[in-house]
Structure 1
Amino acid sequence: MSNSQKIFDYSDESQADRLARKSKDSPFMIIGILGLIGVCGYGFYQYKHKGKMSTSVFLMQLRVAAQGTVVTALTVGLAYNLAKEHLFKEKKE
């Protein structure tokens, strides 16, 4: 029984190649990172209008929103991959 997987030396891979490979393997990770950047950008914009809220409370809420965005994107990606592998799998005859 031979292993049909190719052996690839990741030490020769540049950062751009690594990001391209990771985005192909897991596109929802990239969506999560973009969501994180979006939430942080929105938080920086809203920081001026936080009112009487203390900075530490504002940053804590921003951290929870950013983490929630990333976890949601990864959970949706996991559910999509599980559904693709098990529910929508075509039967081979």
Structure 2
Amino acid sequence: MSTNTDVSLSSSDEDQGSKLIQKAKEAPFVPFGMASFVAIVAYGLYRLKSRGNTKMSLHQIHVRMAAQGFVVGAMIVGMGYSLYREFWTKPKP
């Protein structure tokens, strides 16, 4: 009895980079939301040293809420875009 543990990848399996590119073509606002999230977190870290008398926890809450707001906003705009593309731009039979 032989056990073959060699697992070959089929052509349908893709690496993570090509999956991200494919998803970005389908929904272009998702990468925008991800980039906005990273930019706001980076800005929050940059502003951390000049926050003045604001408590650390309050500063973190504000940065988190701004980042989440941009991501949720990008998701809503992306859903609206896909609905527009699916229902209004499709030719009627």
Question: How does the TM-score come out when normalised to structure 1?
Answer: 0.78
> Which blocks of at least 5 consecutive residues in structure 1 are unaligned?
1-7
Q: Percent identity?
A: 36
- Cα separation, 2, equivalents of 1:22 and 1:91: 26
Q: Which residues of 2 match residues 1-93 of structure 1 at below 5 A?
A: 9=12, 12-92=13-93
- For 1:30-87, what per-residue CA distance to the aligned partner results, in whole angstroms no more than 9, with x for missing partners? 0100010111111111111111111111001110000000000110111111122223
CA contact (8 A) 2:33 2:75 kept: yes
Structure number with higher helix proportion: 1
| Greater Rg by CA | 2
RMSD: 1.5
Partners of 1:15 and 1:85 lie apart in 2 by 26
Query: Aligned AA for 2:43?
Result: Y
SS at structure 1 position matched to 2:92: coil
Q: Tell me if the contact between 2:27 and 2:82 (Cα under 8 Å) persists in the aligned partners.
A: no
**Structure 2: 5+ residue stretches without partners:** 1-10
> Which contiguous aligned blocks of 4+ residues in structure 1 show a shift greater than 6 angstroms?
none
Distance 1:67 1:51 in 2: 24
